[in-house]
Amino acid sequence: MPADVPLPASWRIALPHSTAAVPVARALIRTALADIDAPADCDTAELLTAELVANAVEHTRGETPIELVVELWPTGCQVEVHDPDPTPPGDLSRPGPGSEPSPWQEHGRGLLLIRALSAACGHRTTERGKAVWFTLPSRAPQG
């Protein structure tokens, strides 16, 4: 790789398996992306990260920490949230028939947001459960 092309950066952070993980994850992703002037949209990354962490806390059991894995590339970023439950989340590729949440429901919009605002998203099984991920492209140059 040429010297002027930055290497991708990545990190993995363990978060408590509790609702306290959501604001911590939001702060971590915002600080990390802002501190290095990341190419991806910080606000969208923060929102989608919070959705993934909240889903992991709400839909999995136990005390096993949730892991936040972030990879930054010159072309954007990928965020993964690892949890101990191998059960796949709802459909991240496209909404199924009748899967639109009622306007009166308080829950059920997280996966919709992730599908709508990310460049790509999905899940995969891991040795300890699953990882749910999304990618965001680089921001368009301001000017």
Tens place of pLDDT per residue across the chain (143 aa): 444 555 468 889 999 999 999 999 999 998 877 755 555 688 899 999 999 999 999 989 888 999 999 998 878 889 999 999 999 887 665 555 555 555 544 555 678 889 889 999 999 999 999 999 999 987 655 44
Question: What CATH number has the domain bearing residue 122?
Answer: 3.30.565.10
Is position 61 within any domain?
Answer: yes
Is position 2 within any domain?
Answer: no
Is position 77 within any domain?
Answer: yes
Could you give the number of structural domains in the chain? 1
Is position 143 within any domain?
Answer: no
Is position 4 within any domain?
Answer: no
* Spatial contact of 80 and 106, defined as CB atoms under 8 Å apart: no
Indicate the pTM of the whole model: 0.81
Is position 103 within any domain?
Answer: yes
| Whole-number Å distance between alpha carbons of 114 and 122 | 9
* Spatial contact of 128 and 122, defined as CB atoms under 8 Å apart: no
Q: Where in the chain does DSSP place strands (E)?
A: 9-15, 66-73, 76-83, 120-126, 129-137
Q: Which domain holds residue 65?
A: 9-137
Q: Which SS3 state, helix, strand or coil, does residue 42 take? A: helix
